[in-house]
Chain A
């Protein structure tokens, strides 16, 4: 009996211990993330990609821009080219590592910008309601009327190609969904009585948003933003593929895929590599956002 009692009491005792220790919200999230093996694996993989990309000059074996007419479209392992060479004989490994810099930048920068701008507008619309809400949401609806890829192409077409314009176009594309998600969650959170209770204690709107709204809204929109990164990488690749994004000779995964597409009959493995990188990276971001979502739900 005493042994069984001790076993039964252990989880309770541990929970009490944690409660006493005052484990914060983020500590608990971290604990749950560490227990989630798939998410940890995916995050590890993303960390590898990130490190390789950031340390491109150290990791690259060749100059990404230097080609050789004699060594075109060679298979992996050819004369020290780990992943083979592209259509003008440039080292594919080096180009993938360097190309990742632009691809990840195009993936993350628009999402971060849209998170700041769209999230801010969404909070305002959701908390204020009324006229502010109508004005913001109706103007977002106008942008929503265009399919996202079409909107991005239109903006890029208007501004011309280039890295800055790609990021700008994608930011504008991501603002409407970001505003809408934030507005929906904010409106929902605002209707809870704890917001009323905060108002009843004499708190001002800014303080209520910071203390009571933001911590309930931030989790879901961060998760949503993470899932947008993969879409952003794919859209940026699409724009480069169409010749509207990054311009040659800069390496970028979408652009590389475009350039290598005619080689698919000559050396399919080499031609598929940039595509595989886009697939793996965006897949990792998606899985990570799934993992974050379940780890952040304290009520589970």
Chain B
């Protein structure tokens, strides 16, 4: 493990009850995030990919404690969140900020851009006048002229401009880590590219660390240093971007990356991509959660959940790669 770990997540779990009936009884649980562990290194960009409903956004909200975890621990810069001697949630939220997907609903329609950005610092005790001053400086940093934009309302801005304001708001607290929850998914391609490049520039200038959540594989490849692949609330594969995109090892990652459109005919894959929707995270399949759609599924996949095993820097949760798992292609344990 690398020495400089900024954020350490251990066995994080969050289930949502499905309530129903006259007395709002618990009918079932959605296992949105189930026992995931990973770390974010200082200065890197960790990409999180996966299909809709795999728990990406829940993970983001757990990281910044907008949702409370059912179990598991989060440690920021070595200090556990919410424990004695650790870091409290309010402090965490100054160090970790989030950029939301919907740039429209994430800006207060009744607040000017300047006030929206200045609000965060003012909450942490900075007087309004200097918070506004800081807001104007940050607006310049994200490529918006304060003289033109500071006094505007969100509805007077385009989607790309609004997302720049969202980024500015996250920067206003001078955080170390920014969680980007699908920051460019709602933007069209050319604007998305500008925003991505802005994010890269800002990261370099301010020595930031990113957790970048997206379902757009090209974007994740472009911006990430390491990639985490999620499936139904579980981590299935985690590794450096070249090794995940170059030689994915988990059947799900292979299928997911196989679905990626390519401009190069030689790189187009003949392999069948995924069919159908993922199973519901309400009562997900036992054993390996992917076995219902996996071409290589065997008895052991249905029975036992594969552990996330490390091979150098590359982690995979698949019985085919776990020695002694009982899968026909796996090595027999020594």
Partners in one complex: yes
> How far is B124's CA from A197's CA once the two chains are assembled, in angstroms?
14
CB of A194 within 8 A of CB of B148, answer no
Asked whether, in the complex, the Cβ of A298 is within 8 Å of the Cβ of B100, the reply is no
| Cβ-defined contact, B93 with A215, below 8 A | no
Please give the distance in Å from B192's CB to the nearest CB on chain A: 19
Give the residue name and chain of the A residue nearest to B101 (CB): A193
Interchain Cβ contacts under 8 Å between A and B, 22 examples? A16-B148, A19-B148, A19-B152, A20-B147, A20-B148, A22-B112, A23-B151, A193-B106, A194-B107, A194-B116, A197-B169, A198-B119, A199-B93, A200-B64, A200-B66, A200-B97, A201-B123, A201-B173, A203-B123, A215-B108, A216-B108, A298-B153
Shortest Cβ gap from A153 to chain B (Å): 35
Who on chain B is nearest to A21 by CB?
B151
CB distance B151 to A20 under 8 Å?
yes
A261 at interface (Cβ–Cβ under 8 A)? no
User: In the docked arrangement, what's the CA distance between A262 and B89, Å?
Assistant: 72
Q: What interface size band does chain B fall in?
A: 35 or more
Chain A residues, CB < 8 A from B156: 19
Q: Say whether A25 faces chain B, with CB atoms less than 8 Å apart.
A: yes
Task: State in angstroms the CA–CA spacing of A199 and B101 once bound together.
Answer: 16
Is A299 at the interface (CB under 8 A from chain B)?
A: yes
State the CA gap A167–B148 with chains docked (Å).
Answer: 50
Q: Is the CB of B109 within 8 A of A197?
A: no
- B151 CB contacts on chain A under 8 angstroms: 19-23
Chain B residues within an 8 Å CB radius of A211: 111, 119
B148 — which chain A residues lie within 8 A by C-beta? 16, 19-20
Report A-chain residues with C-beta under 8 Å of the C-beta of B89: 202
Sample of 12 further A-B pairs with CB below 8 A, known A19-B149, A298-B110:
A16-B148, A25-B153, A193-B100, A194-B116, A196-B100, A201-B93, A201-B169, A202-B90, A202-B91, A202-B93, A203-B119, A212-B111
Cα separation A203 to B108 with both chains bound (whole Å) = 15
Is residue A207 within 8 Å, beta carbon to beta carbon, of the partner chain? yes
Any B CB within 8 A of the CB of A192 = yes
Q: Closest A-chain residue to B94, C-beta based?
A: A202
Chain A residues with Cβ below 8 Å from B153 are 25, 298
B150 within 8 A of A: yes
Q: CA of A45 to CA of B155 in the docked complex: distance in angstroms?
A: 35
Note all chain A residues with C-beta closer than 8 A to B225: none
B283 within 8 A of A: no
Q: With a CB–CB cut-off of 8 A, which chain B residues contact A19? A: 148-149, 151-152, 156
Chain B hits for A202, CB < 8 A? 89-91, 93-94, 120, 123-124, 173
Chain A residue at minimal CB-CB distance from B175: A201
Are B120's CB and A201's CB within 8 A?
Answer: yes
Q: Check: B102 CB closer than 8 A to any chain A CB.
A: yes
- B190: CB under 8 A from chain A? no
Cβ-defined partner of B123 (8 Å) among A22, A192, A193, A207: A207
Kindly state the separation between the CA atoms of A272 and B91 in the bound complex, as whole angstroms.
68
* Assembly CA distance A192 to B116 (angstroms): 14
In-complex Cβ contact of A299 among B93, B109, B123 (8 A): B109
